[in-house]
Amino acid sequence: MTEATPLSGKVVEPLIYELSQPGRTGLTLPDPDVPEAALPEDLLRDDVPLPEVSQIDVVRHFVRLSQLNHGIDKGFYPLGSCTMKYNPKINEDAARLSGFARIHPLQNPLQVQGAMALMYYLQDWLAEASGMAGVSLQPAAGAHGELSGILIMRKYHVDRGDARRTKILVPDSAHGTNPASTSMSGLQVVEIPSNADGGVDMDALLEQCDDTVVGLMITIPNTLGLFEANVKEVIGAVQGCGGLVYMDGANFNALMGIVKPGDLGVDVMHFNLHKTFSTPHGGGGPGSGPVGVAERLLPFLPGPVVDMVEEGSDEEPPLYGWVMPEKSIGRVKAFYGNFGMMVRAYTYMRMHGADGLRRVSEHAVLNANYVRARLRDIYHVPYDRICMHEFVAEGRWDDAPGVHALDISKRLMDFGMHPPTNYFPLIVHEALMIEPTETESRETLDAFVAAMRQIAEEAHTDPDILHGAPHTTPVSRLDEVKAAKDLVLCYGPACGG
């Protein structure tokens, strides 16, 4: 007998394997329209341990799973440093046009001129928006763009015959990907402390600036959401000792039409198309992390990149071709990058133009400052001044011991909102990194402020409600320690377990 269980707010969706019944399938395939060839019996496997599920059960399973997620389309998502802005629907339609979705990367370039034109323009527009001399769209994510950028800086020095340079300077407020990308490139990380204002400590920087420096990686605005007050001095110091300056472009949403990193002297930067240029995060990718460089580094870009190999005329369109930069670091990925994300970013830029992009950045900054202004009397903001697209508050009070940033975050879920980024940057205790983005209305921001103020009140009067949170999500707080200790990464019966 099947037992019936009435619905409750809490949900445990079976694994797809637990829905399996021998003999079922979700898709009927045609019979062969050619004579069957003899299969090589000695090479065949006995069994493929996959589930057997009907189509409706597959659809219901994944629809029900989707309902367990919070997404931008469901509610506010102020996850700092992730730029969770609205992902326009038209982008999805554009990327699915058959002339984009159903073309092969190794086709003769004459067959794919439309796709190559799109890439050419996107390279050009990103370069224009950033003040870089050229862009390669190949990296698949921000960290991948960083790796490319560091390899470019390394190779630039090697190519000049300067092999002594092995140090990359990284401020202590940097994203973890910065030091990790450095190590992957075979270079040494030297951490630079922040000063009292949250910027780079100039004395510490100057102490490290010597002829062993490959370059500096700097996030602008930094991870506190602040524009580096000494930006010109910092860049000047590094370049003064022969180093290059890499800008982590994760926070470029604050800068479009506001300042070109190239005008500040930045030598290399990456873009996160999945942050600034509205391509969706997909629950953890796919992203796209194009890398841009100044003139002297153009020969080192990963490739191939698209170039216009013959100019057009009144009768003939221009001809686009693949070009490998002369001293390229090589390919960082098969083919040319996450093209589907390029189509979305192209669509976004095409619908904004110069004025539109500037307004995006202005409103991102306006929204962040508005939320900061309305929370700062309740939540301590350690570097409290006009911020850029995000700010960092402390999720703790001396008179509410035992309440942590994590408790505030979990409680926020009960209000239908995604929490801010927790515990980053590392230089702020109990950090709550809040990035509202420009696409949120004043009413949404006000609702967030109201929830945060109520949570602060609860922290002082009824902290248990925070410690027990979230109360309304599909599952309650999860035991992460058990997950790491018992380590179950696979459904046992399918993995011989």
Partner 1 sequence: MTYLPHTEADRAAMLAAIGVKSMEALFEAIPEEARFPELELPDALSEMEALAELQGLSNANVDADYFAFFLGAGTYNHYVPSVINHILLRSEFYTAYTPYQPEVSQGTLQSIFEYQTMIAALTGMEVSNASHYDGATSLAEAVIMALNTVKGKDRKKVILSPAVHPQYRAVVRTYTQGMDLEIVGDAPDTNTIDDLADLLDDRTALLVVQTPNFFGQVEDLDGLAERVHAAGALLCVVADPIALGLFKPPGVYGADIVVGEGQPLGIPMSFGGPYLGFFATRKEYVRRMAGRLAGETVDADGRRGFVLTLSTREQHIRRERATSNICTNQGLMMLAATVYLSLLGKQGLRKVAELCYHKSHYAAKKIDQLKGFSVDMRRPFLKEFVVTCPKPVSEINNALMWDWDIVGGYDLAHDYPARANQMLVCVTEANTVEQIDALAEALVEVTS
The interface with partner 1 within residues 89-148 (CB under 8 A) comprises: 90, 92-108, 110-115, 117-118, 125, 128-129, 131, 140-144, 146-147
Q: Judged by CB, which is closer to partner 1: 378, or 399? A: 378
- Complex with partner 1: residue 313 or 399, whichever CB lies closer: 313
283 binds partner 1 (CB under 8 A): yes
- Residue from 1, 4, 196, 489 touching partner 1 (CB under 8 A): that is 489
Rounded to an integer, what distance in angstroms lies between the CA atom of residue 344 and that of residue 128? 18
Instruction: Kindly state the helix (H) or strand (E) to which residue 268 belongs, with its residue range.
Output: strand 268-270
If binding is defined by CB under 8 A, does position 463 make contact with partner 1? no
Among 88, 242, 318, 321, binds partner 1 (CB under 8 A): 88
Q: How far apart are CA 127 and CA 133, in angstroms?
A: 6
In angstroms and rounded to an integer, the radius of gyration of the C-alpha atoms of the chain is: 26
Pick the closer one to partner 1 by CB: 347 or 456.
Answer: 347
Question: Which of 1, 7, 37, 196 is the binder for partner 1 (CB under 8 A)?
Answer: 37
Task: Tell me if 80 sits within 8 A of 367, measured CB to CB.
Answer: no
**Candidate list 161, 284, 313, 399; residue touching partner 1; CB under 8 A:** 284
Q: Find the shortest distance in angstroms from Cβ 461 to partner 1.
A: 22
Nearer to partner 1 by Cβ, of 240 and 468: the residue is 468
Residues numbered 40 to 59 that lie near partner 1 (CB under 8 A) are 40, 43-45, 47-53, 55, 58-59
3-state SS assignment for residue 375? helix
Least separation, in Å, of the C-beta of 483 and partner 1? 4
Instruction: Pick out residues in 192-211 that bind partner 1 (CB under 8 A).
Output: none
Prior bond of 317 cis (ω within 30°): no
**Angle of the 353-375 helix axis to the 339-350 helix axis, nearest 10:** 90
> Would the CA dihedral through 98, 101, 107, 111 be positive or negative?
positive
Look at residue 173 and give its three-state secondary structure: coil
> What's the CA gap between 83 and 276, in Å, rounded?
7
Q: Name which of residues 173 to 192 contact partner 1 (CB under 8 A).
A: 175-177, 179-187, 189
Are the CB atoms for 137 and 284 separated by under 8 Å? no
Given strand 431-434, what is the order of strands in its sheet?
Answer: 391-394, 431-434, 421-422
- 447 near partner 1, judged by CB under 8 A: no
- Residue carrying the six token digits 């008179």: 399
Nearest Cα residue to 167 out of 139, 199, 192, 201 = 192
HSE-up (13 A, CA, CB side) for residue 484: 3
Q: How far is the CB of 399 from partner 1 (least distance, A)?
A: 26
DSSP string across 223-246: TTS---TTHHHHHHHHHHTT-EEE
Residue 243 contacts partner 1 per CB under 8 A: no
Position 278, amino acid: S
Interface residue with partner 1, options 248, 267, 435, 440 (CB under 8 A): 440
Q: Which is nearer to partner 1, 115 or 218 (CB)?
A: 115
Judged by CB under 8 A, the residue of 244, 268, 341, 451 near partner 1 is 341
Span from 236-244, 393-401, 452-460, 475-483 in contact with partner 1 (CB under 8 A)? 475-483
Using rule CB under 8 A, residue 330 touches partner 1: yes
Of 343-382, which residues contact partner 1 (CB under 8 A)?
343, 346-347, 349-360, 362-363, 365-367, 369-370, 372-374
Minimum CB distance to partner 1, residue 207 (Å) = 19
